């Protein structure tokens, strides 16, 4: 277990009261702005002192109001990547990186590997004020990593970045997750980011816990659609890359059949997680022929959930994977959709963007 947390903290009218624990891996903390995500992360880091509760990092109690235990931030063994890079302006990149280096407690992180993964070789002699936003954030991530933390806290590290930079740093973070196996607590309100990075998700709203569990379950849970947002609702499908075609498409095998996607740059045989948004999925009760869409997956309907507006979310079972489809209530009625009905899910190849594919 990486993090156990049982907190009660009030600031003015706002009350943060929740209890959860997450295992090793990347745990994403998800919620609207004002949900108390940053307050929670600051409490884990020790930058604020909660009024009540207990916090354990990697099995070690760092805060226990009952026992009067409050380990100061510099002894908690955490790394913190803030929303803004917070590089020290009077030091070179190299000296920023060296600032936090300390003996490893649970992970020995190879400095050269970090500099390599984050692409920092050419920046080492530069001053922070000469770096671009993306470069600064990469340095901030490397600096936090080189302090050999037991747990890395990231508070919306991509929020201030342009889209292209986000994708780039996201793929760096995926490498850190897979190559270093460093536990992370990742704050975000972007579902595509979570879908790519998170192994577990904690959903919170107005200071309270809404849900906590494995990412694949929560992200395709139709009851969480109100929290995750309709536009971001969807499900992740596990697939294996089996062929690259000359017309620019990649072929993947899923438990329900073949999937054709815009070219994915990865070696054949790679395991890939593809997030398919509910609004990109159509439902047909007969197998469609003569249709332009390439991906037609046989499914069973698990449940139907009406929404507030004209739409509804249909939860589908496709092989071992789950899919969500967002269709109008009118269509559902016309097609007489009901649980256990066999049908086909149709996904346009080009509707799946590179950001939704995690290698």
Q: Among 99, 107, 172, 260, which residue interacts with other proteins (rule: CB under 8 A)?
A: 99
Of residues 127 and 348, the one with the C-beta less far from other proteins = 127
348 near other proteins (CB under 8 A):
no
Of residues 102 and 334, the one with the C-beta less far from other proteins = 102
Other C-beta atoms closer than 10 Å to the C-beta of 257 total 13
| β-bridge mates for residue 209, sequence order | 204
93 near other proteins (CB under 8 A):
no
94 near other proteins (CB under 8 A):
no
73 near other proteins (CB under 8 A):
yes
| Smallest separation (angstroms) from other proteins to the CB of 220 | 34
| Smallest separation (angstroms) from other proteins to the CB of 27 | 18
20 near other proteins (CB under 8 A):
no
**Taking the mean position of all CA atoms in its chain, how far away is CA 179?**
17
| CB-based contact 349:335 (threshold 8 Å) | no
- Nearest CA to 155 out of 309, 33, 8 is that of 33
213 near other proteins (CB under 8 A):
no
19 near other proteins (CB under 8 A):
no
Q: Among 95, 181, 305, 333, which residue interacts with other proteins (rule: CB under 8 A)?
A: 95
Other C-beta atoms closer than 10 Å to the C-beta of 340 total 8
- The Cα–Cα gap between 300 and 311 comes to 19
Length, in residues, of the chain: 359
3-state secondary structure at position 342:
strand
In order of 78, 161, 306, the CA distances from 355 in angstroms are 29, 15, 28
Residues 148-167 touching other proteins, rule: CB under 8 A, are: 153
| β-bridge mates for residue 250, sequence order | 244, 261
Binding site for other proteins (CB under 8 A): 45-47, 72-75, 78-80, 82, 84, 86, 88-92, 95, 99-100, 102, 143-144, 147, 153
């Amino acid at each position: 277990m990486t993090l156990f947390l049982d907190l009660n903290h009030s600031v003015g009218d706002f009350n943060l009261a929740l209890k959860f624990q997450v295992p090793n891996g990347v745990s994403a903390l998800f919620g609207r702005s004002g949900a108390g995500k940053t307050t929670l992360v600051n409490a884990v880091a020790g930058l604020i002192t909660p009024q009540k509760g207990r916090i354990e990092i990697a099995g070690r109690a760092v805060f226990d109001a009952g026992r009067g235990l409050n380990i100061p931030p510099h002894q908690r063994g955490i790394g913190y990547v803030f929303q803004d890079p917070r590089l020290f302006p009077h030091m070179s990149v190299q000296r920023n990186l060296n600032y936090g280096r300390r003996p490893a407690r649970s992970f020995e992180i190879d400095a050269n590997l970090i500099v390599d993964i984050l692409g920092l070789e050419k920046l080492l002699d530069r001053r922070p004020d000469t770096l671009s936003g993306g470069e600064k954030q990469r340095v901030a991530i490397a600096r936090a990593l080189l302090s050999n933390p037991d747990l890395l806290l990231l508070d919306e590290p991509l929020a201030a970045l342009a889209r292209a930079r986000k994708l780039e740093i996201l793929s760096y973070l995926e490498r850190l997750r897979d190559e270093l196996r460093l536990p992370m607590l990742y704050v975000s309100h972007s579902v595509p980011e979570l879908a790519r990075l998170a192994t577990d998700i904690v959903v919170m709203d107005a200071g309270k816990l809404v849900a906590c569990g494995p990412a694949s379950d929560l992200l395709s849970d139709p009851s969480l659609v109100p929290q995750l947002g309709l536009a971001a609702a969807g499900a992740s499908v596990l697939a294996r890359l089996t062929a690259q075609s000359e017309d620019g498409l990649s072929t993947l095998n899923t438990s329900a059949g073949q999937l054709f996607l815009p070219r994915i740059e990865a070696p054949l045989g790679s395991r890939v997680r593809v997030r398919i948004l509910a609004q990109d999925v159509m439902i047909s009760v007969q197998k469609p022929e003569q249709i332009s869409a390439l991906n037609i997956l046989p499914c069973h309907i698990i449940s139907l959930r009406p929404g507030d507006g004209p739409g509804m979310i249909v939860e589908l079972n496709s092989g071992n994977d789950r899919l969500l489809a967002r269709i109008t209530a009118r269509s559902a009625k016309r097609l007489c959709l009901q649980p256990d009905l066999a049908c086909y899910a149709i996904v346009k190849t080009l509707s799946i963007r590179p950001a939704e594919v995690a290698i």
